[in-house]
Amino acid sequence: MCGLVGYIGKNLSRAYILQGLTRLEYRGYDSAGFACLSPVDHRLIYLKVPGQLHNLIKQFEEKPIDGYVGIGHTRWSTHGVASLENAHPQFDCNKTLSIAHNGIIENFHELKTALIEQGHIFHSQTDTEVVAHLFESLLATRVTLKSALLSLVNQLEGAYAIVAIMQDQPDNMLVIRKGSPLCLGIGNEEMFAASDLLAFADSTNKVLFLPDKSFALVRKDAIELY
């Protein structure tokens, strides 16, 4: 279990994400993190900490990052201790894509071994980091984002809800679901993603429960569901 929140839209995301994570803190509390794309140049920027959400909130006093697309996570670890490196979001080699995950990737060990052979460098003990590197590798060889996502979901075994953002896709937030809960909130030129609709209940009452075994490209005004 863990708390997963995402936002894309006309407003800065951090306040929504922290409010959502606060409401979902019952789902996980051994570390917390936030990543967003810089409003200036779409660079991926992030902050994460071991321990409870209030530690993360305090860190923003020193590093007040924010962006119009962002994701957040409170972790309840299954693979790897509660530490800074294992906190989500997790990243690819170049830190251009960022992933927050609820669940377990059962075949992470074999995927990780193959990715290390391809030259990927890992920084955490989590099963989640494998998703970021596998996606990076698929994006390098697939023609479209959709075909890379299709290949990704075909290779991942286990249960997962994933929200992801990418530096070169500033207009899209990616959501993927198999087994773990994930819903989208549809606002006015803004979209929310969360493990539980409680996270964005103040902002919209239009909710799409993502069907099991689906993924979507979420823009501020449209959802492309597959």
User: Residue 13 or residue 128: which is nearer to ligand GLU going by CB?
Assistant: 128
Kindly tell me which residue out of 12, 93, 104, 207 binds ligand GLU, with binding defined by CB under 6 A.
104
Is 76 a binding residue for ligand GLU by CB under 6 A? The answer is yes
Please, what is the minimum distance in Å from the beta carbon of residue 9 to ligand GLU?
25
Nearer to ligand GLU, 132 or 191 (CB): 132
Residue of 22, 78, 151, 204 that binds ligand GLU (CB under 6 A): 78
**Per-residue DSSP letter, 89:** P
Residues contacting ligand GLU: total by CB under 6 A: 16
User: Whose Cβ is closer to ligand GLU: residue 19's or residue 78's?
Assistant: 78
d(CA 174, CA 19): 21
The answer to whether 195 contacts ligand GLU (rule: CB under 6 A) is: no
Tell me how far, at minimum, the Cβ of 129 lies from ligand GLU, in Å: 8
127 near ligand GLU (CB under 6 A) = yes
Spatial contact of 149 and 164, defined as CB atoms under 8 Å apart: no
Q: Does 159 bind ligand GLU (CB under 6 A)?
A: no
Tell me which DSSP letter residue 197 carries: G
Can you give the binding site for ligand GLU, defined by CB under 6 A?
1-2, 28, 75-80, 101-104, 126-128
